[in-house]
Structure 1
Amino acid sequence: MNMFKILLMIVGTGLFACTKNEELYFSKEKRGINIWLGTSTAPVDSVTYNFSYVVTGKDSVMFNYRVAGYPPDHDTEFELQAVSGDTNLVYYSLGKYTIKAGEYQGTAPIYIEKPAGYSEFQNGSGKIVFRLKPSDEYEEGALELSTLNLAFKNYVAKPDNWDAATYPYFAMSRYFGTYSNVKYSFIIQTTGLVNFKIYYTVAKDPALETNTITSTNAAALQVQCKLALKTYNEEHGALMDENNNQVVFP
């Protein structure tokens, strides 16, 4: 056997060993998982949860997740953990979230409970930051998609989507005009809706996420509020807001 053949055998053996080692390494590598608030296509930095909009009991905030890499070939689980913020002031619960074999994305809840007589955050806001809990299956994904920032309030306050919203959602100001606490309280009392989103659609009966209405519904609520305000003004005089400006709707 000449020297060339010997060298070829050594190189070939080395390449084979390297390939086998790489296969072994990658088969055991953890998958990353991205988490975020907002919609499946439009992440937001944080979401505000307002206890004043909620009747006593349990509610939830939904978050999105997506596996970075190939979908798992078996059912897997991941968990969240609170890493900072007002964890001692909020009654929250986290479960084990299951990703079915062959799936790689979805939505899941963080449960928030409001006990009777709950009075936190009435004079200011709070915050809790959630992250992925380390496990043998998953590690954190992209840095910008690794935390869930929940802000907390317990008083009537301007919704995050009043002046601006990401398509396919419309800002509330499109239908209800300039914001004031008094106006928003009037809207809540008149419509029974709080902290809702307005989705642009031409579908007759679209499938919408919880607490979301169509632009057609929003236009109808605008008329409802205008008629209710007209009745109020006739019976009590002009409704004035906290800045001593008369409440009006577009």
Structure 2
Amino acid sequence: MKAIFNYHKSPYFLYLITILGIGITSCSKDLVYENNPGIYIDKEKMISSRDSIAYSFAEKSDTRTLDTIYLPIKISGEVSNVDRNVPLVVNAAKTTATAGTHFQILESRVKANELTATAAIQLKRTADLKSKQLRIYLEIVPNADFPLVIAKTKTNNTYNGEPMSTYNPGYLIKLTDQLLKPDTWDGSGSWFKYYFGNYSAVKFKFIIEVTGRTVWGDRARYGPDAPTSAELKVYYTKLVTALYEYEQAHGPMIDETGNQVTFPKI
């Protein structure tokens, strides 16, 4: 006769079940989810420079005294059913501009049930910007709504599963009313570079005087402020003609580096 083993009543089986039960209870306590939201400048959404921008009122119309820069913001963690303030502040140690005089950080919020927002910084045209360039260094700091500190953000683009680049959390605005080289003049696919060639301050001033255009957009190509390709072809023809007339009257136009101003042959 075969012996029948009732494993349900075996002390070894009961001991095993007890141990497993304790382990599952312990693990469940360790795996309790705690929402700890953070917030950061979403540099993946930026088209041009992702760590800084050079802003010059000299490239705008003479009547413009205020302008606003918008930074894309993103949160980590879960959405909330209430609005939350974006804790954007200025780093005083890295800033030479004066709050209230040269700029103002406007109140911005992450709306209820949203993962993204925009932060607004108002820039002000003052007389001293004609002779100097000031710095505004912005950072997001943790607050009651967003206690998690996010030191760096990584690009969504990867290579072999690893992030291709890492961005610093701060953002620098270089503010002036002097003529500056556009940040994207030498960028990939730039129409600045294609139609106008190498940059110089003398050349850029000549371009603005001849075309009458002070707002160019990213790479003189992207965004609502950029000229169309047809407009750029007209500008190019005007510039080549105007430069020829200048040279007939005054000889070669020499820029601030001692080089002759020329335009590429297209």
Q: What is the rounded CA distance, in whole Å, between the counterparts of 1:102 and 1:136 in structure 2?
A: 17
Give the letter aligned to residue 205 of structure 2: S
Q: Is 1:88 aligned with 2:98?
A: yes
Aligned-residue offset at 1:212: 2.6
Q: What is the rounded CA distance, in whole Å, between the counterparts of 2:75 and 2:172 in structure 1?
A: 20
Give the letter aligned to residue 79 of structure 1: P
Q: Taking structure 2 as the reference length, what is the TM-score of the superposition? A: 0.70
> Where do 1:55-134 residues align within 5 Å?
55=62, 56-72=64-80, 74-83=82-91, 84-88=94-98, 91-105=102-116, 107-115=118-126, 118-120=127-129, 122=131, 124-134=132-142
Aligned-residue offset at 1:50: 1.9
Q: What residue number does 2:180 align with? A: 157
Larger Rg: 2
> Where do 1:27-38 residues align within 5 Å?
27=35, 29-36=36-43
Q: Is 1:18 aligned with 2:30?
A: yes
Residue correspondences, number: 231
Aligned-residue offset at 1:46: 1.6
Q: Is 1:53 aligned with 2:59?
A: yes
Q: Would you say the 8 A contact 1:34–1:140 is kept in 2?
A: no
Q: Structure 1's 75 and 91: CA in aligned 2 closer, same or farther, altered over 3 A?
A: same
Identity of aligned residues (%): 22
Q: What is the rounded CA distance, in whole Å, between the counterparts of 1:120 and 1:218 in structure 2?
A: 29
| Deviation sequence 1:136-188 (CA, Å, 0-9, x none) | 222443523410011233322322222x214xx51512111232222111111
Q: Structure 1's 189 and 75: CA in aligned 2 closer, same or farther, altered over 3 A?
A: same
The 3-state SS of whatever aligns with 1:49 is strand
The 3-state SS of whatever aligns with 2:233 is helix
Q: Would you say the 8 A contact 2:192–2:220 is kept in 1?
A: no
Q: What is the rounded CA distance, in whole Å, between the counterparts of 1:198 and 1:243 in structure 2?
A: 23
Q: Would you say the 8 A contact 1:121–1:152 is kept in 2?
A: no
Q: Structure 1's 134 and 229: CA in aligned 2 closer, same or farther, altered over 3 A?
A: same
Q: What residue number does 1:219 align with? A: 233
Q: What residue number does 1:204 align with? A: none
Aligned-residue offset at 1:49: 1.6
The 3-state SS of whatever aligns with 1:150 is strand
| Deviation sequence 1:77-134 (CA, Å, 0-9, x none) | 313111022033851111222233444335443110013xx12462x53322110133
1:198 to 219, 228, 243: 219
Q: Taking structure 1 as the reference length, what is the TM-score of the superposition? A: 0.74
The 3-state SS of whatever aligns with 1:185 is helix
Higher strand share: 1
